[in-house]
Structures are given as C-alpha cells and as structure tokens.
Structure 1
Amino acid sequence: MVLSEDEVKNLYRIRKTVLQMLRDRGYLVSDLEINNTIEEFKKEFDNFVGKDREDLVINKCKKDNPSEQIYVFFPSKRKVGVGEIKAYTKRMHSQKVFNAILVCQEKITEFAQRSITEISSQFHWVVFQENELLFNVTEHELVPVHQVLTDAEKNALLEKYTLEGTQLPKIQVDDPVAKYYGLKPGQVVKIIKPSETAGRYVTYRYVV
C-alpha cells in the first residue's frame, strides 16, 4: 500500500532516530545518512520498488567487528504476527545475522512476542512501535548520559567494589533508554547526571 505524505514524513523522523541509535550502538553509520534531509529522503523513497515500509530495511555491521551485523525491519503489515517473525528470522539465519530491530505500527501479537522469546538465546530482537521513535529519547533534556560498559569494564567495577551485579540498582530491559542501546540482561550501564555540588554524579545500573 502506497503511503501518505504524513506517513512518509513520520518515517523520515523514525529512520533518522534508528540510524542515530545504530551509530550509538557502535554500528557503521555515516553522518551523511543521519543528516539526510526530508527532501532527499522523499526522493530516495520515491525510487523504492514498493514505496512501502518494507523498502526501508537497514543492514549494518559493527565498526570494530564487521562480521557482527544487525537488521532493522519495517513491516508493512499493521499487526505483526508469528509469520513475519519467522520470515525475518529465516532471512537473518541464512546470512548469519543474529541481531535485529523491529519497527512496528502497532504492538505485535502475543504469539509473535512468544516466538521472539523462544529464539532469544540465538537471536536478539528489540521491538519498537513507530511512535516510540519519532524522537531520540537520549536527546531529551531530562535523560542523563548513559554509557554501556564492556564486559571488562563491568568486571573491573564489580571487583573494585566487591559486588555482584545483582547488588547494583536495576534498570529494566524494556526501559526506553535500555531499548535504545539494545541492552541485555546482565549488562551494566554507567549513568552520568549533572550535580550542583560535584559537577556530575555517576551511578550504575544492572540490566534485568
């Protein structure tokens, strides 16, 4: 189904947020892609075969590990079910891609969510509804800086303070910022907040 003018404008904003998200996760994304104007996007979109959400699919690799890739899918079906998840997973499996972002118009079906959970040990999915990506949550003035710790940094932190990860304050895996960075249970994120007395205040959260 050909999209309306308003839908194309919204998809421009959503795609820009997704590209920023991928770059913040360490994937190769150029400034040119992120700074693409609405006029340039419309021209590019007009050249797509189906002129539909499915044409917006993105495939990127990590800067420091080109073999680690991610797919971003934009289903055209309003209510995504098990069939779509299986089709996308089959495509990923054939190309040895194990990370994906799903950008949906509505909440996916319960069965689709169950399907994602069942394959979570091999394929890491993060599901967004389009309205969650109309703006970049990390650019909001009330959201402090979040830095995802590497495994080495996490281990050094826990060793320094003689802690188990579970003893740290928690952040839910479905927290908007956690979803933005694609955090997984067991990871630790460093949060830097401004402080009137110390200049900045640092805390850590354990992903659950």
Structure 2
Amino acid sequence: MSGNWVIGITGASGAQYGIRLCEVLLDLGLNVHLLISDAGWRVLQDELDWQVSKRQDELEKHFGGRLGSYEYHPNANIGATVASGSFRTKGMVVIPCSMGTLSGIAHGSSDNLIERTADVMLKEGRKLIMVPRETPLHAIHLENMLTLSKMGVRMIPAMPAFYNRPRTIEEMVDFLVGKVMDSMEIEHSLYRRWGDTDEQPRP
C-alpha cells in the first residue's frame, strides 16, 4: 500500500480525530503530508496537551518510527509541494474542519496552505474530504457545505454513533476516523460495522 495523502488540521474542536487518522495511515505504510493551522496548534495544546513551543518534537513523538513517512508543512508556506497540482497525491482530508476554513475553501480564497491545497484537490479532481465540527449550524455554514458538496466534496460531520456501544472516547474517535477512511477507500478494522458479530480491536 502506498501513496501520498494530505491531512489538514484546523482550529475546530476535535484535534484528536486528525491525530488518530495520521497515526492509522502511517501504520498502514502511507505517506502523510501534514498541515496544521495556527488555531489548530492551539487546539492541540488545549485538548491534547501538546507543547506547541516544540512543534517538531511533538510531531516526531507521535508520528516518528512508523511504517509510513510524514512531512510537516507550515500553513504559511504556500510554496510547499502540496500547493501545486503537479505534485501527485491521492487526496486531502481536513479533519477537523473549522467553519472559517470551510468558508475559505468554498469561496476559493487560498489565503493559506490548507485552503490552497484544498483548491488544488478541487481543480485536479482529486478526493477532498471534510470533517466539519460546529454546532449549531447557521444558514451560511450550510450553504458553504452545499456549495462544496455539489463539487463532489465528501462531508463527514464529526458525529459519533452508538449502535456499536462505544465504551471509551477512543472507540468513538475510531468510529469517525473509520468513516473517513471508508471515503478514502482504505481498508481498516477501526469499528464494528452494522451486522458484524465481533468487536474490532483498536490497533
């Protein structure tokens, strides 16, 4: 299994979703290009106690030594490889996606690397998957989602399921990450599917 995937983490609550997705992809031997907004770093600090003053150390601690490789691109670096359509990738996942980032992508702003890379996915016809995390939603949020959905963007709101009887936060995270990986067309066993008789262990 091989290929490049771009993962964008923004300032919406739910940073654990993005980190867990990166971990699973790397453990499968895939290559991850990681983009984190400044607000995303703030949420990593607030929700997961990351030391954002030591960004590279934190990235290496969580993602180093796995089967796949990762490369971190600062969000201000719009000259990064992933900002060009000539750089080959399987697609991009923005997880979690703030409403500000969603708006920027829906309107083609390309004000930072996350927005520019998403714009590349749209123009090149590659997979673009977004995990919006906000509640309640007002009309502008919904209109922006509809705009992108009409362009083929897959919207996977950060909504946990309970039919599989999750016992921990980790199992709830794995369910959402598994739903994202379904849209990425990547095989996994992160959650028990409807009709399955066996619990799937967290790897």
What band does the TM-score fall into relative to the shorter chain? 0.3 to 0.5
Structure of greater relative contact order (alpha carbons < 8 Å, 6+ residues apart): 2
- TM-score computed with the length of structure 2 as normaliser: 0.38
- TM-score computed with the length of structure 1 as normaliser: 0.37
Whichever structure has more strand as a proportion of its residues is 1
